[in-house]
């Protein structure tokens, strides 16, 4: 009796499931609407950095700093070389010892100056990349709003895997590390918005510069 009851229950459950499968499509209602497909734009970040007017302006300032540093470095090296030559020409004695102490002090001052200058140049380069990246991020937001793009991503699909001999990191680890950082395997040219982003950022910069010049008192 118990076995018949179980068989009857199983048959009933099977018929119920069959009824659901056979029901008209209109009778089944989705509990949540399907999300619309996202619109995606890709950007070649290296190209954007290379062609932004802001980036070029920063490069001019940094090159001027580096050029000034190089000229001062040359002059200070010549000064140290003259001190060394003068010291070698002096006879042994108290004056020569005093001149040697002064030369060593001058060399230490020169090394401290060089370290400070290199730090200053490094800071300017850091500020450049922060400013340019900030402009790219803000530009991408404006472009997405204008073009109705849901997601703007960096296209790294053309990145080449490169290795170099190293005692610390194996070639395999280098390759695996680079692969782990990549996110896009392929991106169609139809979703590339690099040119649009460059034009938008440069035009915005020119417009803000013109507006600033128009309101600046003479």
pLDDT in tens, 69-97: 999 999 999 999 998 898 888 889 888 88
Domain span at residue 128? 39-196
Query: What's the confidence (pLDDT) of residue 189?
Result: 93
Percent of the chain with pLDDT over 70: 81
On whether residue 81 sits in a domain, the answer given is yes
On whether residue 209 sits in a domain, the answer given is no
Our count of domains for the chain comes to 1
Exposure letters 114-128 (e unless 16+ CB within 10 A, then b): eeebeeeeeeeeeeb
pTM of the model: 0.71
Q: Which residues contact 66 (CB under 8 A, 6 or more apart)?
A: 121
Tell me the pairing of strands 151-154 and 40-43: parallel
On whether residue 15 sits in a domain, the answer given is no
On whether residue 25 sits in a domain, the answer given is no
Exposure letters 58-88 (e unless 16+ CB within 10 A, then b): beeeeeeeeeebeeeeeebeeeeeebeeeee
On whether residue 24 sits in a domain, the answer given is no
On whether residue 114 sits in a domain, the answer given is yes
On whether residue 180 sits in a domain, the answer given is yes
Percent of the chain with pLDDT over 90: 64
Give the Cα-Cα-Cα angle 113, 119, 121 (nearest 5 degrees). Answer: 105
On whether residue 110 sits in a domain, the answer given is yes
- Give 19 or 119, the one with higher predicted confidence: 119
């Amino acid at each position: 009796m118990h076995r018949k009851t179980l068989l009857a229950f199983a048959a009933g459950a099977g018929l119920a499931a069959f009824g659901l499968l056979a029901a008209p499509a209109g009778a089944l209602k989705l509990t949540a609407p399907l999300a619309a497909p996202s619109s995606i734009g890709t950007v070649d970040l290296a190209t954007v950095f290379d062609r932004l007017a802001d980036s070029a302006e920063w490069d001019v300032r940094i090159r001027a700093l580096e050029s000034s540093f190089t000229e001062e470095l040359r002059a200070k090296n010549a000064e140290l070389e003259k001190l060394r030559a003068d010291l070698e020409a002096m006879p042994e004695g108290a004056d020569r010892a005093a001149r040697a102490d002064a030369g060593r002090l001058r060399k230490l001052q020169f090394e401290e100056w060089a370290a400070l200058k290199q730090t200053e140049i490094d800071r300017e380069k850091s500020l450049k990349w922060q400013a340019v990246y900030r402009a790219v991020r803000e530009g991408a937001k404006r472009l997405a709003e204008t073009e109705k793009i849901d997601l703007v991503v960096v296209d790294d699909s053309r990145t080449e895997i490169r290795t170099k001999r190293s005692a610390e990191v194996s070639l395999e680890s280098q390759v695996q590390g680079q692969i782990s950082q990549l996110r896009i395997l392929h991106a169609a040219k139809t979703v590339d918005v690099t040119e649009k982003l460059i034009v938008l950022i440069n035009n915005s910069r020119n417009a803000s510069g013109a507006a600033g010049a128009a309101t600046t008192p003479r």
